[in-house]
Structure formats: structure tokens, C-alpha cells
Amino acid sequence: MSRKKFLPEVGLLVITLVWAGTFALVKNSLNDSSPMLFLFARFGIASIACALILNKKIFEISKRQLLIGLFLGFLLFLGFSLQTIGLNITSATKSGFITGSLVVFTPIVQSIILRKIPSIGVVISIMLVFIGLLLLSSPAENVFLIFEEIGGNFNLGDFLTLLCAIAWAFYIVYLNIYGARYHYLSLSFVQITITAILSLILVVLFEHTKIEKAKFILTSGLIIGLLYTSILATTLATILHTRFQKDVEPVKAGIIFSLEPIFAALISFVFLNETIGLLGYIGGLLIFIGLLIAEIYDYVIKNGN
């Protein structure tokens, strides 16, 4: 089998690994910066980095590319801003699980937009991944306590995070559609730039309405957090995502992204000496099995045996 067949999926896997490394850095950075101002700085730096990569080609962006980039950038902004604001209100456990529910919303959005019903193999994979996320996201060791942890006291932060998951599902599907039509570097630059601009607008709006007081103290922790999230988790990740999403089914992309909590747990174990309980290990195994089933089913269907 050609290596190129797996290159797009490997690309999305790299993105997932990079995103998994952001949790501790962002959490630490928010001690020195307000959430929306951090988001603006992150995407502002990423926009400059992407502009340097494009160089003179930045002036070759067509009006159509600009419009599509603006649309994708708006969805990207919705995903990041809703998650960031929601995380300030809800717990990290619930935020991680609810964000991971994009694996369920993606096939729904795909069936609405592309009129494509997911196969039985994909449905089984989604069910396994969803249960896996439920187990992995909860610190509870009793399976009945998990539903109390996730479902109890549904608040505004949970609702915003749910909207974030839906926004990400739409973003994945539309990126799959438009990524094949336009140059990925141009689309990446416009997406990142519009997210930075919209973040700045929210900073001003939140400051004016006293929803969030702007704070930005340039410490070593904040600098490290900004460099990692802007260069790797935004510039590199957005370029790779825009480049490879067109070659991966949106539903499968959602399943791949659901590996993020597994990678996050591994990173926390290696660098922070944090461990997860038995149910967490079972959840991680179910997510991995779900991904394998999606891959095997896809291979069998395409090869007719």
C-alpha cells in the first residue's frame, strides 16, 4: 500500500499530538494573561509567521480565496473562543469530554451538508470513541459516578463548550470541501488572521462591557506558552490541517482528533508524573480500537474484500 495513502492521516495525527501538548502551557499562561487577549496574541503571532512563509505570494490571494478563508476563519474563531471562554466557567474534565463530542456531531453535520450517511463501521467506531472519551475524561473510578461528574450541574460554560464542539464539526466538514479547491497556505493565512482580528474585537468588547478585564504580564511562562501555541499549535497545525483535511473523511478526522486526550494523558505522565485510573486506561483503549475499526472498515470497503 502506498505511503501517500496514509500521509494525510499522519498529518492529522501530528496536529492532534501538538494540540495535546497545549493544555498545561495554556493553563499556566492564563495566570499572566486574560483568555481573549492570550488568544489574540497567539493568533497575531501566528498570522505574522504565516505571512513570512507566504512572502510575496500573500499579494496573490484572490477575492474568492479571501472570502472562503474569512468563512473558515470565523468557524475557527468560534471553536477556539467558545472553548476558551467556556473553560473559565466549567471544569477541565467536562470541557475535555464535551469538546471531544465533536466526533458525534461531525457525521451529523456531514450528513446534512454533504448528504452522506456514515457507514455501519463508522457508526460503531463513533460509539466506541464516545464511550472511551466518557471514561477517559472522568477521574471517577466508579462507572456510575461518571454520569454524575459529566452530566451534573450543566452550566453556561458547558453550553458554550458544546457550541464549540458543533463549530469544530462544521469547520472540519467545510475545510474538507474547500481545502481541495484553494491553496492551503493562502487559506491558512486568512483563517489565522481573521481569528486574530475577531479575538482583538472581543478583547475590546469584553473590556468595555466589563465581562473580562484585559491582563497581559510578559513572564517567561507566558512567552513559552505563546511561542508553542502560536508557532506549533496554530501556524503549523492550521497549515497541516488545511493541507490534509481534504484527503481525509470528516468523520474519520473527528475520530483521529479524539486521540487528543490520550496524547495529553501520556504527556502529563511523562512530564508532570500524572496518572489516570483504570477507567481512563479502558477509555483510551476503546478510542484506539474505534480508530482501528474505522481504518480496517475503510480499507475493506475500498479494496472490495
pLDDT of residue 257: 86
Using one digit for the tens of pLDDT, what is the confidence trace for 30-85?
889 888 899 999 999 999 999 999 888 888 888 899 999 999 999 999 998 888 78
Q: What is the pLDDT of residues 187-219, one digit of tens each?
A: 999 999 999 999 999 999 988 787 778 889 999
Q: Identify the pLDDT of residue 250.
A: 87
Question: How does pLDDT run across 100-134, given as a tens digit for each residue?
Answer: 778 888 888 888 888 877 777 778 888 888 888 77
Average pLDDT over residues 256-285: 74
Indicate whether 296 pLDDT > 90.
no
What is the share, in percent, of the chain residues with pLDDT greater than 90?
30
Q: pTM score > 0.75 for this model? A: yes
Q: Report the Cα–Cα distance between both ends of the chain, in Å, rounded.
A: 15
Give the per-residue pLDDT at 142: 57
- Tallying the residues shown for the chain, one arrives at 305
* pLDDT higher at 143 or 261: 261
Angle between helices 120-137 and 143-151 (to 10 degrees): 90
Confidence of residue 1 (pLDDT cuts 50, 70, 90): very low
Q: Is a pLDDT exceeding 60 seen at residue 166?
A: yes
Residue 72 pLDDT? 95
Q: What is the structure's pLDDT at 151? A: 53
The pLDDT, as a whole number, for residue 103 is 83
